């Protein structure tokens, strides 16, 4: 009995010792924190009294808060009351500025992507560009917030942006006129029998804009619609719920994305609600190095479920989620990274990006000027007739393929013949039909070539959709 009590006493003493150590550790931590806060207070006081120029307390405190947040990662930052209001307007799809999504890398501002039909886009700013100076003032040493503030200004004013671009021999200046940026989140058009849908950013207009685009394209193309191209190139991201809604539009079921915070129990899962708006038609998603965040959530979900073919180049690789935390009236808010997101298969794309299923680099395509008339078997003297058709039809087809000199001779011989008027009229009609068909084929070919010259990746995707549609139809037959 005495031994048992002794053991119990030892356990109690040890337990009390551990608790005491834990409490002492907490006290040490608090003491260290207070010392650091005292250090901050000392520095703040010395700046107020000794700095060469008078500085407003508010500016110093806001700069200190922003410095604390930006030191965590490139996407956390402080939003004063004015910038917080601008951010709220931006998510609604209208704001003032140049029209570029940026981040900070190696002390320079890096362009994630220009936004379609904005001053920066029209001026030729590209995803991956580094901005090294603004109106001659070097970016090095600035915070991202300070650089963004310099980019803002009164609409109609000009900003000179110094750009460093990979492959360019030297840095160069671009003059951009500031404007009110009105973002049309979703654009669409018919490409033959294919529905082309481009999403430029994920804001409050995205989900209704996507549904409207699908409805209009379905009505325009009808039952002949062979697939959808979802263009997310140079889309810098946006609202998480809108990314979920876009992926949900093409998925019948399953998890779309999950977010995981610091606490292992802090996991949020977002699932598809059912109902594929395009009824299982083939989908190709176009991405590039400017496709980030919400764009990668959509591409990752559709890729994991084999619902879409991902085409283009590797995406940006932003796999974190930022939460906007209001700090009170007229105090602004903080943008804080609170979680990482994972695709349905459980992979994180942070700093790695989405690898496309088919790597298709942007390319410059040039037309090949064909000299002379195309020769074929039918243009050779004494060729065998095609047994599938009528001999006269085969002869007429061969005649159309004759070289110009021989065709002229044969035409001259034909003029000596004694065909009656009715036959001549029929032949003329046949020639007109053949000419119209040839003209149409040539026009289609030129259209396809023109598309490739303007946008090789899109032309590649259109050809893929056509091929997939053909193979599916054959398998059904």
List beta partners, residue 335.
77, 324
pLDDT at 345: 97
87: its two tokens = 């951010």
CA distances from 59 to 50, 77, 154, 333, 336 (A): 16, 15, 22, 15, 20
At residue 219, the pLDDT reads 97
- Selection from 46, 3, 63, 5 nearest residue 332 by Cα: 63
Low-confidence winner among 223-237, 306-320, 372-386 (lowest mean pLDDT)? 372-386
pLDDT at 106: 84
Residue range 452-477: mean pLDDT, rounded: 89
Fold of 61-182: Pdz3 Domain (2.30.42)
The whole-angstrom separation of Cα 222 and Cα 413 is 50
- The C-alpha atoms of residue 248 and residue 241 are separated, in whole angstroms, by 10
pLDDT at 397 > cutoff 50? no
Point out the residues that are catalytic.
Answer: 293, 304, 318
pLDDT at residue 245 tops 70: yes
Give the tens place of pLDDT for each residue, 326-375: 998 889 999 999 999 999 999 999 999 999 999 999 987 777 666 556 77
Query: Which pLDDT belongs to residue 238?
Result: 93
* CATH 3.90.226.10 corresponds to the domain 186-321+338-359: yes
Q: Residues of the chain with pLDDT > 90: what percent?
A: 59
Residue range(s) of every CATH 2.30.42.10 domain in the chain: 61-182
Give the pLDDT confidence score for residue 370 in this predicted structure.
62
More confident residue, 389 or 289: 289
As a whole number of angstroms, the distance between CA 149 and CA 233 comes to: 26
pLDDT surpasses 80 at 1: no
Q: Which has more confidence, 405 or 185?
A: 185
What confidence tier does 286 reach under pLDDT thresholds 50, 70, 90? very high
Residue 402 pLDDT > 50: no
* Residue 17 clears pLDDT 90, i.e. is over it: no
The two tokens of residue 445 are 């070919």
pLDDT value of position 82: 84
Q: Confidence band (pLDDT; 50, 70, 90) for 450?
A: confident
Q: Where in the chain is the domain with CATH 3.90.226.10?
A: 186-321+338-359
Residue 431 has pLDDT above 50, yes or no: no
How far, in Å, CA of 267 to CA of 256, rounded?
13
The model's confidence at residue 257, banded by pLDDT at 50, 70 and 90, is very high
Measured in degrees and rounded to the nearest 5, phi and psi for residue 335 equal -100, 110
Pick 97 or 229 by higher pLDDT: 229
Q: What is the dihedral of CA 349, 352, 355, 359, to 10 degrees?
A: 160
Question: Above 50 in pLDDT, residue 438?
Answer: no
**Residue 203 pLDDT greater than 50, yes or no:** yes
- What confidence score (pLDDT) does residue 284 get? 98
Please tell me the predicted confidence (pLDDT) of residue 454.
84
Neighbours of 429 (CB within 10 A): 10
What does the pLDDT look like over 136-171, one tens digit per residue? Answer: 999 988 888 789 888 987 888 999 999 999 999 999
Per-residue pLDDT tens digits for 22-60: 566 667 678 889 999 999 999 999 999 999 999 999 999
User: Residue 95: which pLDDT band, with cuts at 50, 70 and 90?
Assistant: low
Confidence band of 388 (pLDDT split at 50, 70, 90) = confident
Please state, rounded to an integer, the average pLDDT across all residues of the chain. Answer: 83
């Amino acid at each position: 009995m005495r031994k048992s009590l002794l053991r119990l006493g030892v356990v109690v003493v040890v337990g009390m010792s551990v608790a005491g150590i834990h409490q002492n550790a907490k006290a040490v931590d608090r003491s260290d924190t207070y010392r650091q806060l005292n250090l901050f207070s000392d520095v703040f006081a010395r700046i107020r009294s000794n700095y060469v120029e008078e500085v407003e307390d508010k500016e110093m405190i806001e700069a200190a808060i922003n410095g604390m947040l930006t030191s965590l990662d490139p996407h956390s930052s402080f939003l004063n009351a004015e910038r917080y209001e601008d951010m709220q307007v931006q998510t609604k799809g209208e704001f003032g500025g140049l029209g570029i999504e940026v981040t900070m890398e190696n002390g320079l501002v890096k362009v994630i992507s220009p936004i379609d039909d904005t001053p920066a886009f029209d001026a030729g700013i590209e995803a991956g560009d580094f901005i090294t100076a603004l109106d001659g003032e070097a970016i090095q040493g600035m915070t991202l917030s300070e650089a963004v503030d310099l980019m803002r200004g009164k609409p109609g004013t000009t900003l000179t942006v110094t750009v460093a671009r990979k492959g360019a021999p030297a840095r160069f200046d671009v003059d951009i006129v500031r404007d009110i940026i009105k973002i049309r989140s979703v654009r669409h058009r018919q490409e033959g029998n294919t529905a082309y849908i481009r999403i430029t950013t994920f804001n409050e207009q995205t989900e209704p804009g996507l549904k409207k685009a699908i409805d209009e394209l379905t009505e325009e193309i009808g039952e002949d619609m062979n697939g959808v191209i979802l263009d997310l190139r140079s889309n810098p991201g946006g609202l998480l719920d809108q990314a979920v809604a876009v992926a949900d539009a093409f998925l019948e079921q399953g998890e779309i994305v999950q977010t995981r915070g610091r606490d292992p129990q802090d996991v949020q899962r977002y699932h598809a609600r059912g109902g594929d708006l395009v009824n299982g038609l083939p989908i190709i998603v176009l991405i590039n190095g400017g496709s980030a965040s919400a764009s990668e959530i959509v591409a990752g979900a559709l890729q994991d479920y084999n619902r879409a073919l991902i085409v283009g180049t590797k995406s940006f690789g932003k796999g974190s989620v930022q939460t906007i935390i209001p700090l009170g009236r007229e105090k602004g808010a903080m943008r804080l990274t609170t979680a990482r997101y994972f695709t349905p298969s459980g992979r994180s794309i942070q700093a790695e990006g989405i690898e496309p299923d088919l790597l298709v680099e942007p390319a410059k395509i040039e037309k090949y000027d064909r000299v002379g008339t195309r020769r074929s078997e039918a243009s050779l003297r004494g060729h065998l007739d095609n047994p599938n058709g009528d001999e006269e039809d085969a002869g007429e087809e061969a005649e159309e393929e004759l070289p110009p000199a021989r065709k002229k001779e044969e035409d001259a011989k034909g003029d000596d013949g004694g065909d009656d008027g009715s036959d001549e009229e029929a032949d003329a009609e046949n020639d007109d039909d053949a000419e119209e068909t040839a003209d149409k084929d040539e026009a289609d070919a030129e259209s396809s070539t023109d598309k490739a010259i303007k946008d090789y990746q899109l032309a590649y995707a259109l050809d893929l959709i056509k091929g997939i549609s053909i193979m599916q139809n054959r398998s059904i037959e």
